[in-house]
Amino acid sequence: MIEEVKIYPRCPDEWEWRHSKDGLYSTSIAYEMLTKDERGLVETKFFKRVWNPILPSKIAAFNWKVMMDRIPTKLNLFKRGVIKDMEDGKCTLCEVEDEDINHLFLNCNVARWLWMACANWWGITIKLDKECRKTFENFGTWTKQLSIREG
Ligand SMILES: [Zn+2]
């Protein structure tokens, strides 16, 4: 990588971003670069769904944290040394199972009850997977039902 660097003795050092023609950083180019990566079409589709521009940014950021398992669940707090004993790692909602991301949002009886209550309220049928990411991939069928209902 260092071999690629050209040194011009009479020019002052400056930052340059390789992905734009003018060398200046641009969030729109960065977004384009990340979402048009040919190596990961599935990831790109997933990424676009998470960072959907119609969502408020704080909702999208929260979704992203859930999908990347970056929520401070008790298991994550244990992994980071915040909780010293997994005996203190029981789910905040049911106090029965260990609290990891999939349990907290999907597999906990309290969470499942909440999801089903929301589905009843919205008048739609939902499919909950055991994993957050797989359930998130089903959100499209949920929103289709809602948009059909609204006409
Ligand atoms: Zn629970």
- Report the C-alpha gap between 5 and 95 in whole angstroms: 56
Tell me if the pTM is above 0.85.
no
Q: How far is the CA of 73 from the centre of ligand 1 (A)?
A: 11
Question: What DSSP line would sit under 17-85, residue for residue?
Answer: -TTSTTS---HHHHHHHHHT-TT-HHHHHHHHHHT-TTS-HHHHHHHHHHHTT-S--HHHHHHTTSSS-
Q: How far is the CA of 33 from the centre of ligand 1 (A)?
A: 39
Q: What is the pLDDT of residue 5?
A: 73
Domain boundaries, the chain: 14-40
Start-to-end C-alpha separation, the chain: 55
Residues in the chain, pLDDT under 70: 1-2, 34-44, 149-151
CA distances from 51 to 41, 45, 48 (A): 15, 10, 5
